């Protein structure tokens, strides 16, 4: 089953995804996409680490998400990817439009053949003001297009607001 958990900053989306992964009763591999490049991001990463069960495996991969999913997806396993918007940011910072498209397309193409439970977490960025900078506008556009394409492929899509899940697609939580 493919699930997409969307929400704003501090909406409870990661906490919900972690609960769903734990409730799956499967071994869990947490795929972290962040690159903690400053003190504030280091604190966020430390907070996430402290919250995760010690028995969960961890893979840190900022760019080649499709490769990691193909290598680790199994019928008797749960993969939790947190988060797609950080992954997209990492790709956009390379300033290589072809690489962004190639990695996004590889992710979307591999989803149909992946076994097991896969939970994606991503920030919903398109509900606010249109950003002023070109790169920021491109990020919001790319995230929106990625979310739409993923939502088509996922069996469940959930929007999390104030810690409350609203099921947009699939069986309610």
Nearest to 52 by CA among 75, 34, 77, 32: 32
Given this model, what pLDDT does residue 143 score? 96
User: How does pLDDT run across 23-37, given as a tens digit for each residue?
Assistant: 999 999 999 998 877
Nearest to 26 by CA among 117, 132, 127: 117
Phi–psi pair at 46, nearest 5 degrees: -60, -40
With contact defined as beta carbons under 8 Å apart, do 159 and 124 qualify? Answer: yes
Is 77 catalytic? The answer is: no
- How far from 59 is each of 62, 129, 131, 150, CA to CA, in Å? 10, 34, 32, 21
Q: Could you tell me the residue ranges of all domains in the chain? A: 2-169
pTM exceeds 0.85, yes or no: yes
The residue annotated as part of the active site, out of 47, 48, 77, 147, is 48
Given this model, what pLDDT does residue 45 score? 75
Q: For domain 2-169, say whether CATH 3.40.50.300 is its number.
A: yes
Split the chain (173 residues) into runs of 10 and give each run's mean pLDDT.
95 96 98 83 79 93 98 98 96 96 98 97 86 89 96 98 97 95
- How far is it, in rounded angstroms, from Cα 9 to Cα 24? 25
User: How does pLDDT run across 44-75, given as a tens digit for each residue?
Assistant: 778 878 888 999 999 999 999 999 999 999 99
């Amino acid at each position: 089953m493919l699930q997409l958990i969307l929400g704003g900053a501090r909406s409870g989306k990661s906490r919900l995804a972690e609960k769903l992964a734990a409730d799956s009763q499967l071994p869990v591999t947490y795929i972290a996409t962040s690159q903690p490049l400053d003190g504030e991001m280091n604190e966020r990463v430390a907070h996430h680490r402290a919250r995760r069960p010690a028995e969960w495996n961890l893979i840190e991969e900022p760019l080649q998400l499709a490769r990691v999913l193909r290598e680790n997806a199994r019928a008797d396993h749960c993969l939790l990817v947190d988060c797609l918007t950080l992954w997209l940011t990492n790709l956009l910072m390379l300033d290589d439009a072809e690489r962004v498209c190639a990695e996004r397309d590889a992710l979307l193409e591999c989803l149909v053949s992946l076994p097991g439970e896969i939970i994606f977490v991503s920030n919903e960025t398109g509900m606010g003001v249109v950003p002023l900078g070109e790169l920021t506008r491109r990020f919001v556009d790319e995230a929106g297009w990625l979310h739409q394409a993923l939502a088509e492929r996922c069996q469940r899509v959930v929007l999390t607001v104030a810690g409350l899940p609203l099921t947009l697609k699939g069986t309610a939580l």
